[in-house]
Amino acid sequence: MRLPLALLLSSLALPGWANEGTRVQVTGEIIDTWCYYSGVMGGPDAVVGSAHHTCALWCSAGGIPVGLLAEDGTVYMVLKIAQDDGSASGDTQLSLAAHTVTADGMLYERDGQNYIVVSEVVSDADIQNRNHEDFGTVPPFSFPEPK
């Protein structure tokens, strides 16, 4: 008797744990979260924009979730963009790597992290941060030297 009652009560409590989310519209750059947070390929200025475009493609194709680096410096972990199944390696994520976009979606906050489920990419301004002349390509081997 106690076990069925405990299961019933615990199932009723689950909906209370869910965060409802807030509709937002955010403008920023689609980034490679692994390189941005870990620093393995350089500082935060080097792992964005045109300098890091190729590596961002590799990471997303390899399963690393993408993020949205807003103009104010806030990073939103992208859980999903439109119809793509996940937050990495989908056609939409690959086509938007290093692009500046305006995204409309639902914001969820938990443990100091911002998560966004993008329902629509309202605008795509292509790659705006053309920093490859300042940093080269990151990592340097992403474009092999011609023979």
Residue by residue, pLDDT tens for the chain (147 residues) are: 565 545 554 555 444 455 689 999 999 999 999 989 998 888 888 888 888 888 888 888 888 999 999 999 999 999 999 887 766 667 788 889 999 999 999 999 999 999 999 999 999 999 888 877 777 666 665 555 666
C-alpha to C-alpha distances, 3 to 10, 12, 14, 25, nearest whole angstrom: 10, 14, 17, 45
Full-model pTM: 0.78
Report residue 128: phi and psi, to 5°.
Answer: -100, -30
What's the Cα-to-Cα distance from 123 to each of 2, 33, 39, 65, rounded to whole Å?
A: 55, 21, 29, 21
Longest dimension (CA), the chain: 76
Domain 20-128 in CATH 1.10.3470? The answer is: no
Query: How far is the C-alpha of 104 from the C-alpha of 24, rounded, in Å?
Result: 6
- Residue 142 and residue 8: Cα distance in Å, rounded? 55
